[in-house]
Amino acid sequence: MTQLLLNADVGESLGPWVMGNDAALMPMLDLANIACGFHASDPDIMRATVRLASTHGVMIGAHPAYPDLVGFGRRSMACTPEQVENLVLYQVGALSATCKAEGAQLHYVKPHGALYNDMAGDHDLLAAVMRGVQAFDSGLVLVVPATNEPEPVRVMAKEYGLQLWFEVFADRAYHQNGRLVSRSKKGAVHHDQKLIVEQAIRFAEGLPIQTVEGQDLILQADTLCVHGDNEASILAAQAIRAALAKTDHL
């Protein structure tokens, strides 16, 4: 593995409520996961964020979620696979229309929050997400969590004619099975910048990280998620970008 694409969740403001510093974060990104209205954002913010990404030459991705504005898409919902397929199709279509209006191109889809976590543990939901993407455009890449056993997910994607990007997180703790530690658990999110940068470099170089169970875990990935919801996270993203550039992993 020689290169990691840096991605971030952006366009997550809503009306007058501002979430994150997209203007500062966007120049550091390769991929912009733009919220589609179900967990955050609105038509005005979606279009402004597409415009911002285009200005900086950043690839645009749809960031669909459960219909959960109150919970910011971080709560699991009792949606059937058919409903998940349709809500993915709906949100991807909305962002694609916005891209068309701006002369931009939609490149990929990365589900958000609880939907992203739920599909990682439930292949019926993952298949539903894949069908939603396929129904719109099988040429779109689907971003999925990196795992210690990626082959079953690769086989599923092949059945739907989809390309995958496996994703890791520099600022999140992991279980031995490759799943993220729930945000409800203490220590699930790293706040120490040195640790965050070190974990990013280890991912890029194919080296093991230590899980919460105290064991080594190696995850092969195509993209790494960074955050920009406060000044500290912006500085961490800058540090990751600089560190990976020095080691030729960007």
Output the domain CATH number for residue 29: 3.20.20.370
Give domain status of residue 79, yes or no.
Answer: yes
Phi-psi region for residue 41, left (φ > 0), alpha (ψ -120 to 50) or beta? left
Q: What is the mean pLDDT of residues 1-23?
A: 90
Provide the percentage of residues in the chain whose pLDDT is more than 90. Answer: 85
| Residue 96 binned pLDDT confidence (cut-offs 50, 70, 90) | very high
Q: What is the mean pLDDT of residues 137-148?
A: 96
Closest-CA residue to 72 (of 113, 42, 31, 129): 113
pLDDT of residue 158 exceeding 90: yes
Give domain status of residue 51, yes or no.
Answer: yes
Q: What is the pTM of this model?
A: 0.94
pLDDT of residue 91 exceeding 50: yes
Domains identified in the chain, total number = 1
Give dist(CA 136, CA 130) in Å, integer: 10
Give domain status of residue 44, yes or no.
Answer: yes
Give domain status of residue 249, yes or no.
Answer: no
Name the residue range of residue 128's domain: 5-172+219-230
**What is residue 250's predicted lDDT score, i.e. its pLDDT?**
67
Give dist(CA 187, CA 20) in Å, integer: 22
CA 22 to chain centre: 15
Q: What is the mean pLDDT of residues 48-57?
A: 98
Give domain status of residue 239, yes or no.
Answer: no
pLDDT of residue 110 exceeding 90: yes
Give domain status of residue 47, yes or no.
Answer: yes
| Residue 1 binned pLDDT confidence (cut-offs 50, 70, 90) | very low
What digits encode the pLDDT tens for the residues 119-132?
999 999 999 999 99
pLDDT of residue 169 exceeding 80: yes
